[in-house]
């Protein structure tokens, strides 16, 4: 009676390990690539939301404005100065690429308030197209957008 030993040879085991390793490397590469694409997409969506939020804040302020001093008609500036109630507001980018709004309130006790509207700003430019129309361009490191709105200006 002859006994047969069933099993794999060393060559078959090594070949199977090599094939499985190659498949595992391919799957890990695909997962890493997918993760990178997902992160880039999420960053773009966040940048768009950030841009929309900044424009909404500006739009709310300018809708309440009674007068926009700067820029004057048919000119452009990298800042905007407007009047809301008894506060004179200035929006401009500082040296650290931060879009800030400074409000100077002229009451019995004058005070100044500064708030941050956006960070990582590459470009902020306001063009007065006509007496009542402003075009605002805002660009960050990831995204850029332009908004046209009406705001009362100097006649």
Segments forming the whole domain that contains residue 69: 38-150
pLDDT digits (tens, 9 = 90+) for 129-144: 887 888 888 888 777 7
The reported pTM is: 0.67
Domain presence at residue 5: no
pLDDT digits (tens, 9 = 90+) for 65-111: 888 888 887 778 888 888 888 888 899 988 888 888 888 887 766 78
pLDDT digits (tens, 9 = 90+) for 117-127: 888 888 888 88
Domain presence at residue 24: no
Domain presence at residue 4: no
Task: Give the pLDDT score at 108.
Answer: 67
Domain presence at residue 124: yes
Domain presence at residue 55: yes
Work out the average pLDDT over 10-23: 94
21/14 Cα distance (integer angstroms): 10
């Amino acid at each position: 009676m002859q006994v047969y030993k069933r099993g794999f040879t060393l060559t078959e085991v090594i070949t199977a390990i090599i094939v499985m390793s190659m498949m595992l490397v391919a799957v890990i590469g695909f997962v890493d690539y997918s993760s990178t694409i997902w992160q880039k997409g999420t960053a773009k969506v966040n940048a768009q939301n950030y841009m929309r939020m900044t424009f909404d804040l500006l739009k709310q302020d300018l809708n309440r404005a009674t007068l926009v001093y700067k820029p004057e008609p048919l000119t452009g500036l990298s800042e905007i100065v407007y009047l809301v109630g008894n506060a004179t507001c200035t929006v401009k980018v500082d040296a650290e690429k931060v879009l800030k709004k400074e409000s100077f309130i002229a009451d019995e006790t004058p005070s100044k308030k500064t708030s941050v509207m956006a960070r990582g700003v590459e470009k902020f430019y306001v063009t007065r197209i006509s007496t009542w129309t402003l075009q605002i361009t805002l660009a960050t490191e990831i995204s850029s957008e332009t908004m046209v709105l009406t705001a009362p200006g100097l006649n």
